[in-house]
Amino acid sequence: MSIHFTRIDTPIGPLLLAASDAGMRAIEFRNARHPVKRGDDWVEAPHPLLDRARRQLEEYFEGKRRSFDLPLAPQGTPFQRQVWEALATIGYGKTLSYGQLAARVGKPAASRAVGAANGRNPLPIVLPCHRVIGANGALTGFGGGLPTKEFLLRLEGSLPRQIL
């Protein structure tokens, strides 16, 4: 199965979008800390799902979209996928701490492991890892960089008070 990819320009810089017939595989920042592994099956070519993702991301950045309606096919361990599924339950304009996210996946003592899985999220924005913040409200690590995390939270109206 081929993985199609394209690049788009956004207010937070260029993003790489990748999809297969199974669903979205990756949304990647220019200087991703954990880039998705690419193989010979990756082709820079059109795909209807990439067009749909581009449109939905444009609507999100214009403030017209609060959730995404895309089939997703992220590749990871069962624990990572469990954390990524939990990210999808964090509503627009809301934030959770790593501890709260760990509790949400049924592992309240595993906030570090949850943080590591969060950091390897291959579908940022769509699976909103930017909505996970420190217990004290601090913006903590983010694959797109803290200025990008701040931009996304500000766009959603959920920037912690001490940052405003």
By annotation, the residues acting in catalysis are 129
Task: Return the SS3 of 28.
Answer: strand
Cβ atoms of 42 and 81 within 8 Å: the answer is: no
- Both tokens of 43, joined, read 């082709």
Other C-beta atoms closer than 10 Å to the C-beta of 135 total 12
**Whole-number Å distance between alpha carbons of 11 and 31:** 15
Residue type, 38: R
**Whole-number Å distance between alpha carbons of 36 and 23:** 15
Q: Where are the beta strands (DSSP E) in 75-125?
A: 96-97
**Whole-number Å distance between alpha carbons of 140 and 149:** 9
Smallest Cα–Cα separation from 125: which of 98, 161, 151?
Answer: 151
